[in-house]
Amino acid sequence: MTLRNEIEPQWEMAKKCYPEILRLILAYTAHCDEYGDEDNVEYRKLETQLHQLTGKDMSHYNLWEWWEGEGAEVLAFRIALPNPIKVTSISKVELSEIVRRIIGWSIPHKDPNKEETFEEQWQDYLDDYYRQFIKINFKSYKPEYFNRQKDAVGNYYDPSVEEIVGKIWKENK
């Protein structure tokens, strides 16, 4: 299902900024490998450059130890992707699609003879974006709605899209 443009990630902006953000992160890492950055001067320069490119608060990102996370490429993508915005009149169907994307996004079978688009390449890394979207747009959002739950008998289970949407929708009204 396709969502309204204001809900979908701003792919063009991410695509435009991504190469420069990745270059800056890798250049900073190379600088640290060669010269170090004990006083964090270069780190602060990197934060400033990335903030100027994206307008984002860089304190939310681990710029100096990305190798302990998902890697420089994923970090660059997450930084390049503009933050979600507040949207009016989100339907239950749209919320269901967003939750579905968070808990089980899967791209249809890829054709090995066709080059992957930027969007296809990064589809699996939109969880933070969509969680942030729900948090901004639904005051009832709680991250634990997505966690394993315990039923009345004490067995653990993963909540369904319908269960998660039901909690968010009910408590938001």
Check: CB of residue 133 under 8 Å from CB of residue 95: no
Tokens of 138: 């639904």
Tokens of 125: 């890394």
Q: How far apart are CA 36 and CA 24, in angstroms?
A: 16
**Residue 117 confidence (pLDDT) above 60:** yes
**Residue 56 confidence (pLDDT) above 60:** yes
Q: Which residues contact 89 (CB under 8 A, 6 or more apart)?
A: none
Q: How many CB atoms lie within 10 A of CB 49?
A: 16
Q: What is the pTM of this model?
A: 0.87
**Residue 94 confidence (pLDDT) above 90:** yes
pLDDT in tens, 133-167: 999 999 989 999 999 999 999 999 999 999 999 99
Q: What is the pLDDT of residue 143?
A: 95
